[in-house]
Structure 1
């Protein structure tokens, strides 16, 4: 493991150098009193971990860490400082750990164990499920669901999943609209910290990328049913396999059961696209003389949205065309009841009779 130290205090650099020399598998490649020199070294040489002071002239540790993120450096940061108040902000820039001076051998050893543990978790992957609710799980020995510290922590992660990359200002306007700016910023930083902590125990904190202006998720580092659905939805009605995949992905509306107002518009659009695919596929099956499959697809569209008049009309026309007058009569009766009384549909029973 290749490490460097960045600290403007020579005595602090010297002590940390001695401590690191006692740790097996750690090679100290450089010790820098100026941040600019350290950044140039990182750009030209492989570095695994940077032991970084926060209070430094010209460029402080937070600026240095943000610059590493912006340049997508693989070097990870361990903050070494005499101040406790930067801890939450430190994890917001993806720090591996936060060490208070003077550093003890025992505490440094724990940090290096944490870093080694993270390296062991590299093969794990995050799985995000957005349809029919919201669930995030990890592929490990079993399918382990991540438990978030609070509903707001979960909602911020859901927002990042949905939008990919979001400015800090937009997040505050969305989740803490009525809060004073200072309090909203504090809430944002602490919420980001708790997301990172939840992911860190599995070595997956690299999924989230933070800069001064925005927060985003690296889509290459996790699997999400929403992304796969969006990839398939444009033409899935035209192929059997893709339509089946789309149908399996759509286990319910987007974030079903959650009160995420910012997601309602997208949920409606996705439902509309899903029903459109089903109706186009059903019409295609009719042309192909496959009435049983066509009926199943029409019914699936109504299962998703029993109030969808176009889907109801198409199924009604289908029954009339195929000479099934009793089916058409029953469907018309049920839809009249739904539209006039807004009563729960009897479609489940009706499906059994079809």
Structure 2
């Protein structure tokens, strides 16, 4: 196992080297008091592990680790810290590799054994990868899902909820530089700056480790003041949906199947299972697009005499978005056209109940007037005509 040591204290470097030499199968390739020299060496050489002090004079150790992992996601980083036992609980919770000063041989053996197991399990960890040339599928409608070969769902286990939220935020703004200050304001507004930046670097560290099996498709690059998430050979359901809605494909007999397939992409709302306030505007925008296309398709079926298909599409809209008044209204008019009076009444009552429960409001004046006029017209008809 090839390792390097980075610590600005020469005594600490020498002591760590001394303790590591007691452990078999360790090759110490270098030790560095200058973190930037250590970084250059780590990026240029084939290494397995970097032992890295957290408190460095020119750069936070966690930030340096994050920079290393940007280019070498397979690298294992072990943080060396003088934090007391209470403070180290944060690292244990986040499942970071760490050893405390003064470094004990027994603790080193445990850490290195974990790393050896990780190195030995890498072929299994890569198993979810897609075949070369095969796109990775990422779904953001309803919930985050990553699909690989044969549409299999690849398990993604986030170490912390903050790491998951950070990844989804970067995914929403994929291809754009997101400033570190904005991420801290979003995720750690209550922390003082030093601690907040450590939390950010730790979360990015976890994301990179979590995404290792998909490294050829998903990559986070860092700049001085921010991060950018890149996708390569990825089929993202949100992008597929937006490409279709922006294409302006005319709706006719030959494109109905395309419209149906596009609507099927949206199996739920955007990040439906995640209650992130920052996703609300995007969720609303995509929901509005879905309603527009679904309504357009239902209206086309009705105009072509396909009343059964129109009814199914409007019913789907009402089931998915019970507050979509226009879909309820369209169903009422179709039921009236089919002389199914009972279903007209039922649909109006359903709309009344939903609006009263959710908004404490009655149906719109236009719909209420139509229903009253229709009801009066039915009452005025001879019984034999009804």
Distance 1:43 1:25 in 2: 22
1:98 CA drift (Å)? 1.8
Are residues 54 and 122 of structure 1, via their aligned partners in 2, closer, same or farther at CA, if it must alter by over 3 Å? same
Which residue does 1:349 correspond to in 2? none
Which residue does 1:98 correspond to in 2? 98
Are residues 287 and 25 of structure 1, via their aligned partners in 2, closer, same or farther at CA, if it must alter by over 3 Å? farther
1:73 CA drift (Å)? 3.6
1:303 CA drift (Å)? 2.4
Aligned to 1:30, what secondary structure does the other structure show? strand
Are residues 33 and 187 of structure 1, via their aligned partners in 2, closer, same or farther at CA, if it must alter by over 3 Å? closer
Distance 2:5 2:221 in 1: 23
Which residue does 1:275 correspond to in 2? 291
Distance 2:64 2:313 in 1: 56
1:305 CA drift (Å)? 2.2
Q: CA-to-partner distance for each residue in 1:65-104, whole Å, 9 max, x for gaps?
A: 35435x6344442222334498589899x99512112322
Aligned to 2:317, what secondary structure does the other structure show? helix
Aligned to 1:39, what secondary structure does the other structure show? helix
Query: Contact 1:136/1:146 (CA < 8 Å) preserved in 2?
Result: no
Aligned to 2:282, what secondary structure does the other structure show? helix
Which residue does 1:33 correspond to in 2? 33
Query: Contact 1:153/1:195 (CA < 8 Å) preserved in 2?
Result: yes
Q: Structure 1 regions of 5+ residues with no counterpart?
A: 346-354
Aligned to 1:342, what secondary structure does the other structure show? helix
Q: 2:309 aligns with which of 293, 314, 329?
A: 293
Q: CA-to-partner distance for each residue in 1:277-313, whole Å, 9 max, x for gaps?
A: 2233335556777554343223322322233344445
* Structure 1 range deviating more: 8-17 or 186-195: 186-195
Query: Contact 2:63/2:201 (CA < 8 Å) preserved in 1?
Result: no
Number of paired residues?
333
Q: Is the counterpart of residue 123 in structure 1 residue 140 in structure 2?
A: no
TM-score, normalised by the number of residues in structure 2: 0.61
Q: 2:257 aligns with which of 240, 243, 254?
A: 240
Q: Which of the two has higher C-alpha Rg?
A: 2
Which residue does 1:261 correspond to in 2? 277
Q: Structure 2 regions of 5+ residues with no counterpart?
A: 130-135, 359-386
Are residues 114 and 204 of structure 1, via their aligned partners in 2, closer, same or farther at CA, if it must alter by over 3 Å? farther
Distance 1:60 1:156 in 2: 20
Distance 1:147 1:73 in 2: 20
* Structure 1 range deviating more: 301-310 or 213-222: 213-222
1:274 CA drift (Å)? 1.3
Which residue does 2:182 correspond to in 1? 170
Alpha-carbon RMSD across the aligned residues, in angstroms, is 5.2
Q: CA-to-partner distance for each residue in 1:107-166, whole Å, 9 max, x for gaps?
A: 22222233344442343589987545x577999x9986858867x776566545544574
Distance 1:9 1:173 in 2: 34
Distance 1:49 1:312 in 2: 62
Q: Is the counterpart of residue 306 in structure 1 residue 322 in structure 2?
A: yes
Aligned to 2:31, what secondary structure does the other structure show? strand
Distance 2:113 2:147 in 1: 21
Q: Is the counterpart of residue 250 in structure 1 residue 267 in structure 2?
A: yes
Aligned to 1:123, what secondary structure does the other structure show? coil
Which residue does 2:80 correspond to in 1? 80
TM-score, normalised by the number of residues in structure 1: 0.65
* Structure 1 range deviating more: 122-131 or 297-306: 122-131
